[in-house]
A and B are shown apart, each in its own frame.
Chain A
Amino acid sequence: MTPQLTQTADVAIPELAGLQRRLLLAGAIGAVLSLAGAFLDLRQFMQSYLMAYMLCLGVTLGCLALGMLHQLSGGAWGVVIRRPIGAASRTLPVMTLLFLPIALGMNHLYIWTNADLVAHDEILQHKHLYLNTPFFLARAALYFIVWNALAYFLNAWSLEQDKTGDEKFARRMQMLSAGGLLAYGFTITFASFDWMMSLEPHWFSTIYGVLILGGQGLSALAFLIIVLAWLSRRAPLDTIVAPAHFHDLGNLMLAFVMLWAYFSFSQYLIIWSGNLPVEIAWYMHRLQTGWRGVGITLIVGHFVAPFVVLLSRQVKRQPELLMKVAVFVLLVRLIDLFWLIAPEFHQAGVSVSWLDAVLPLTLGSIWMAAFVYQLRGRAILPVNDPEFDEALGRIIERGAPQKAAH
């Protein structure tokens, strides 16, 4: 085994430090621009901030969930991305801090915080038991406690496993992941109801939580493919990551693209069939105005295009090509969040602000800087994982003679 594998990523991949600095600089410039935007139009700022925040949170929680899924399922696909997954989940304290602007500015986002409006609205009065500011904040606190605790213990045990190689930590991580996945399912369902569905408080959709959950899984996979493609061009992963790993990840991304299409269409089919005034209004804001174009863009860009491209075996086995697909998928993830959030603020027709571009870039840069910082602190592969040799053994064995032949 090459010594590079046991070094921290900081030593093994020196470029990471420079990347982190550039990301922080980009984040700082973006933060200044965003603050200027907040003074110019606070409501637009809050709307774009929520969208950007949900994208970053989606990658973070998606990584946490994929990590727990892999603890239970095993497989070579997860061993090579275990460390980026861990690093992403360790950014949860940063995401918790970044939630503060939403908590502070919630009366600019959620109309149910307006007491006058609620007083004249019978439906909102009934929902007041759930949709009120103290309970909203208490629930948010609970979600963040659960997520941070899961990320904390999984990462702490993973570090112990690195140091000692003791198999009991693998067992512990599995036990926690089983309950953790369940907890993630419940918390993300209610968090998506609270933070996004309640933007239109009259409307409800029971599939909304899984729709967001599937989207988070897709965002996380796309992000991890980009990270792995970047890492696989450099030592020490260049001799370890094989086309087979990308093939698996590409197949998983295809599955998540289909899952998203399935959830989205199910929601539409049920509401369209029922055609009830309370439910159908959500689609009427979107499909009978200029927003219709965004919806069609999503059908083509979020389902048809990635679906057709990812059917190809060649695309999935070429890291460069698959990375391009993953970048595209992350972009349409943002458009999907835009489609879920923005029409509630601009019911007359499509309205895109410069903040809709600046805030995702800003939060994305800050989040990425935190991610790179976390990635640098540990070895780039979980070398003491009991699955490690089994998952990579044959590939390392095969890689060695090829290298000697060159």
Chain B
Amino acid sequence: MKTPSLIHGLMAEFDDPTSLVTAAGRAHREGYRCMDAYSPFPIEELHEALGSHHTRLPLIVLVGGLCGCIGGYALQYWSSVIEYPLNIGGKPLHSWPAFIPVTFECTILAAALSCVLGMLALNGLPMPYHPVFNLPRFALASRNRFFLCIEATDPKFDLEATRRFLETLEPREVSTVAD
């Protein structure tokens, strides 16, 4: 058992989005999996270059939506058929067409809430501390620089070899990120 490393990972800095996407793609082909990329704006291609790992979020949203759908319908059924049966316009107590709009709205509400909460649960936000901010230059990630960080938790990570690999990607510089 290795002692926990004091290094979060190695960070390479790039000038433009194309270099970052190319670098991420090469790192993925090289076998690195525990890595993340940082850019001032969303880059659609980056997701695939990093090896699009499947997220469980769609499943969470689907389950949330179905719960809202069933819950919304059940609430109306319970109130208008079981608990407070009222004759409205001579229509049957269980008048499903009238239940659809509320059922639909409950589906959307529950799906949207589970999407936001599920996203926060999966990505660990809000996160008061993240090691990447230990690197002063990382502030540029919200301006005009593009960063690729290979994390020390990656099985293939080796301080010397990984640094040499990152240098071959022609970054502006490679820095060590303290944990």
Scan residues 52-103 of chain B and give those whose CB is less than 8 A from a CB of chain A: 58, 89, 91, 97-98, 100-101
A273 touches B100 (CB 8 A): no
Whole-angstrom distance between the Cβ of A243 and the nearest chain B Cβ: 10
Chain B binding site: helix, strand, loop or mixed by DSSP? helix
B160 within 8 A of A: no
Q: Which residue of B lies closest to A266 (CB)?
A: B101
User: How far apart sit A272 and B97, CA to CA, in the bound complex (Å)?
Assistant: 8
B45 within 8 A of A: yes
B44 within 8 A of A: yes
Inter-chain contact total with CB atoms closer than 8 Å: 18
A114 within 8 A of B: no
A265 within 8 A of B: yes
Scan residues 243-268 of chain A and give those whose CB is less than 8 A from a CB of chain B: 244, 265, 268
B45 touches A398 (CB 8 A): yes
Interface band, chain B? 10 to 19
Residues of B within 8 A of A272 (CB): 97
User: How far apart sit A268 and B98, CA to CA, in the bound complex (Å)?
Assistant: 10
Of B44, B58, B89, B97, the contact of A268 (CB 8 Å cutoff): B97
A269 within 8 A of B: yes
B44 touches A244 (CB 8 A): yes
User: How far apart sit A300 and B7, CA to CA, in the bound complex (Å)?
Assistant: 56
Whole-angstrom distance between the Cβ of B97 and the nearest chain A Cβ: 5
Whole-angstrom distance between the Cβ of B53 and the nearest chain A Cβ: 14
Residues of A within 8 A of B89 (CB): 273, 275
Q: Which residue of A lies closest to B22 (CB)?
A: A401
User: How far apart sit A265 and B97, CA to CA, in the bound complex (Å)?
Assistant: 9
B45 touches A265 (CB 8 A): no
User: How far apart sit A398 and B45, CA to CA, in the bound complex (Å)?
Assistant: 10
Q: Which residue of B lies closest to A262 (CB)?
A: B104
B97 touches A269 (CB 8 A): yes
Whole-angstrom distance between the Cβ of A268 and the nearest chain B Cβ: 7
Q: Which residue of A lies closest to B61 (CB)?
A: A311
User: How far apart sit A272 and B89, CA to CA, in the bound complex (Å)?
Assistant: 11
A273 touches B44 (CB 8 A): no
Whole-angstrom distance between the Cβ of A266 and the nearest chain B Cβ: 9
B98 touches A265 (CB 8 A): no
User: How far apart sit A398 and B101, CA to CA, in the bound complex (Å)?
Assistant: 45
Whole-angstrom distance between the Cβ of A76 and the nearest chain B Cβ: 11
Of B18, B58, B91, B100, the contact of A265 (CB 8 Å cutoff): B100
Known A244-B44, A265-B100, A398-B45; further 8 A-B contacts with Cβ < 8 A: A268-B97, A269-B98, A269-B100, A273-B98, A275-B89, A313-B58, A394-B45, A397-B18
B residues whose Cβ falls under 8 Å from a Cβ of A: 18, 44-45, 58, 89, 91, 97-98, 100-101
9 contacts between A and B (CB under 8 A): A265-B97, A265-B100, A269-B100, A272-B97, A273-B89, A275-B89, A394-B45, A397-B18, A398-B45
Among all A-B residue pairs, the 8 with the closest Cβ atoms:
A272-B97, A269-B97, A265-B100, A268-B97, A398-B45, A275-B89, A269-B100, A273-B98
